[in-house]
Chain A
Amino acid sequence: MDNLSELLHGFTIAVTVPHLALMAVGVLLGILVGVLPGLGAPNGVSLLLPLTFGMQPVSAIILLSSMYWGALFGGSVTSILFNIPGEPSSVATTFDGYPMARDGRPTTALATAFGSAAFGALIGVILITFLASWVAQVALAFGPPEYFAVYFLAFASFVGMGGAAPIKTVVALAIGFAIAAIGIDTVSGSVRLTMGVDELVKGVNFVVAVMGLFGIGELLVAVEEEFHARAVSSKIDWREVLRAVGRLPRHSVALLRSAAIGCWMGITPGGPTAASFMSYGIARRFSRRGRYFGTGEVEGIISPETADHAAGTSALLPMLSLGIPGSATAAVMMGGLMIWGLNPGPMLFVDQKDFVWGLIASMYVGNIVAVALVLLTVPVFAALMRIPFVVIAPLIVIICVVGAYSVSNSYLDVVMMLGFGIVGYLFKKLFYPLAPLVLAIVIGDKAEDAFRQSMLMSKGSLGIFFANKLVTCLVVGGIALLLLPLVLQLARLFRKPASSGTETTSREKVII
């Protein structure tokens, strides 16, 4: 229990009035950058960095990490209210969050998301507290084959869970992979699939695709049906917030499972995005109400949010203990650490105990501050849903345009975003699934790189994916998840030989 006393000491550092005030400021700024399109935690953290040079390192890291928490929470707001995910890891939140908000329950959707996100983050911090050294070892055991196996597992848990026409799913998935391949190939350095457009060398950014597919595409689908945003109750109802949070313990199985998936994917370098998709896919498969996923199910919000934040939190550990930044934000923070005169890496835990444990304690406190502040803002954000559609529609278009532009200051991105909007509309209209497309765009090239690096290591033998226990377990688990629906289908066919044709068409409608 050495860690525990260190942690208590950390609390005495973190829970002081100036530090609590810093947390509040950081969280509020974080929510702002999280909600705004095209800006994210990396922007916010890099803008605040110069302000921290005069501070104590502990105070500085508390400010920056609080901003990170705020941005994580804020990113879910636009996903739920407008179907515009600000960052890859909140895409899976749109699947059920947006239908629920449009159905007239934005308060419930936001409160559920924040509550489960806070739970996920808490589990992540607890993991860091007690398993810091063990976790660092696991992360070191990961090479290209293990990376590929983790991505494969994420794909397997998400794809093939059926619903849409299988061939359309395959086409959507393959298009996603092709889009991910555009630009410079990181293994060989050659330029791929630019179609003669030089600017495409930088690749197609995920934000551009998602803003078009989800933001503009959804807008076109919505405008086509009459302008009817479902009547949202006009008074701000605090009890609704409390009720939604109070209902969370009923879904404790989903919460715990998603937190476990999130922590696992955070420690292994799968990352928050893969974690949230995987958690959503598994929840959909194992939940009793899995059929209704996509229409505004509570567990469909809980699962990706919990996993996202659990992964986001536990991913800070490799940064501290190994000096490997897991994300852009972590990289900026690491730059900060060096400027403050600290060396990230194993020695940090020995040399700078006050700093490390102050930070870990501040994660507990910071998350509590963040969730309190963010729950206070729920009614304000929910009120946005009451703005008439004719006013909100052009604003959403502007948000998407500005967001797409500011990713890399490119006008081409804006035009591509509009193109993705048409594709998103067509796909939605014709029941092509968007989720596999997005998943492939986000982690497709990473999976391909990992696969090719493994092939280089093994000189072309697939045996490398069964070379040790860890990678074998991951690959076998992935294959099992892929085959599960097939096996279930066969079992059902075996039991009652003829009655499946009608079921698929009715399910198609429920899912989309």
Chain B
Amino acid sequence: MISRRALELATAVLTGSFGVAVVVQSLDNGIGWSSAGVDAGTFPFLTGIIIVAGSLYNLARGVMPAASLASVPIAITPIELRRLAGLFVPAAIFVAAIPLLGMYLASAGYVFAVLAVPRHQSVPRALAMAAATALALYVVFERMFQVSLPHGALAAALGF
């Protein structure tokens, strides 16, 4: 279970640290006015400052919840969290597998796993859908529009 408060705090910390990174990075580019006009870092620097200030404000609001926050204390229930993970974890594994397996094998495996493992579809149907997905990607991208998708380290090792 994740409370609304924890989520607000986490997001504020996330945006705030992005802001800090922006401020630090933009200092390298110069933040003033030189002979070449406004320096390249000026605008990023200002936006970074705004992000940090805004995040601090949101952080403070999160620590001391206002009335509107208190009315919805729970942001994500355990069941919802499981559903989220059920979608996101396979997707992340799919993306992680692309450099090794290539887009076609990885996407076919992903479709098959998502459909067959939780028994949403029968194994043969899931297999058919997985094959159809990979084939459709190949025909449309590789053949029709000549956009090359990654083939993966495995295919390269096998000599494709």
Contact = CB atoms under 8 A, between A and B. Distances in A.
B111 A188 contact: no
A219 B87 contact: yes
Interface in B6-40: 7-8, 10-11, 14-15, 18-19, 21-22, 25-26, 29, 33, 36-40
A391 interface: yes
Contacts of A47: 145-146
Interface of A: 33, 36, 38-39, 43-44, 47, 167-168, 170-171, 174-175, 177-178, 181, 185, 187-188, 190, 192-195, 216, 219-220, 223-224, 388, 390-391, 393-395, 397-398, 401-402, 405-406, 409, 411, 414-415, 418, 421-423, 425-427, 429-430, 432, 448, 451-452, 455-456, 460, 505
A398 B107 contact: yes
Given A167-B54, A171-B54, A224 B76 contact: yes
Contacts of A505: 68
Nearest to A448: B43
A405 B75 CA distance: 32
29 contacts: A36-B145, A43-B145, A44-B145, A170-B54, A171-B51, A174-B19, A174-B51, A178-B22, A187-B37, A187-B40, A188-B40, A190-B29, A224-B83, A391-B120, A391-B129, A394-B110, A394-B111, A394-B114, A397-B91, A397-B94, A398-B133, A401-B107, A402-B103, A402-B149, A406-B147, A411-B98, A426-B14, A430-B4, A452-B37
Given A192-B25, A429-B7, A220 B98 contact: no
A395 B133 contact: yes
Given A188-B40, A223-B86, 15 more contacts: A33-B145, A39-B145, A171-B15, A171-B55, A174-B47, A174-B50, A175-B51, A181-B43, A185-B40, A195-B21, A219-B87, A224-B80, A398-B133, A411-B98, A426-B10
B26 to A, nearest CB: 7
Contact of A171 (B36, B58, B129): B58
A167 B56 CA distance: 10
Contacts of B65: none
Interface string B82-100: 0110111011101100110
A411 B150 contact: yes
SS class of chain B's interface: helix, strand, loop or mixed? helix
B92 A195 contact: no
B147 A39 contact: yes
Contacts of B7: 426, 429-430
A418 B37 contact: no
Nearest to A227: B83
A109 to B, nearest CB: 25
Contact of B44 (A167, A192, A393, A455): A192
B152 to A, nearest CB: 11
Nearest to A47: B145
B96 to A, nearest CB: 9
Contacts of A190: 29, 40
A193 B26 contact: yes
A168 to B, nearest CB: 7
Given A193-B25, A395-B133, A397-B91, A406 B43 contact: no
Interface residues of B, number: 68
B51 A192 contact: no
B92 A390 contact: no
A177 B141 contact: no
B22 to A, nearest CB: 5
A476 to B, nearest CB: 23
A168 B58 CA distance: 7
B18 A175 contact: yes
A439 B97 CA distance: 33
B115 interface: yes
A177 B111 CA distance: 36
A401 B147 contact: no
A281 B132 CA distance: 42
Question: A-B pairs with the 4 shortest C-beta distances?
Answer: A171-B54, A174-B50, A456-B37, A185-B40
A422 B7 CA distance: 12
B22 A193 contact: yes
A418 B54 contact: no
Contacts of A193: 21-22, 25-26, 44
Given A181-B47, A224-B84, A418-B95, A405 B149 contact: yes
B147 A391 contact: no
Contacts of B10: 426
Contacts of B36: 188, 456
Contacts of B75: 429-430
B130 to A, nearest CB: 10
A195 B86 CA distance: 31
Contacts of A390: 114-115, 118, 120-121
A167 to B, nearest CB: 5
A192 B37 contact: no
A38 B26 contact: no
A391 B129 CA distance: 9
B145 A192 contact: no
A493 B70 CA distance: 27
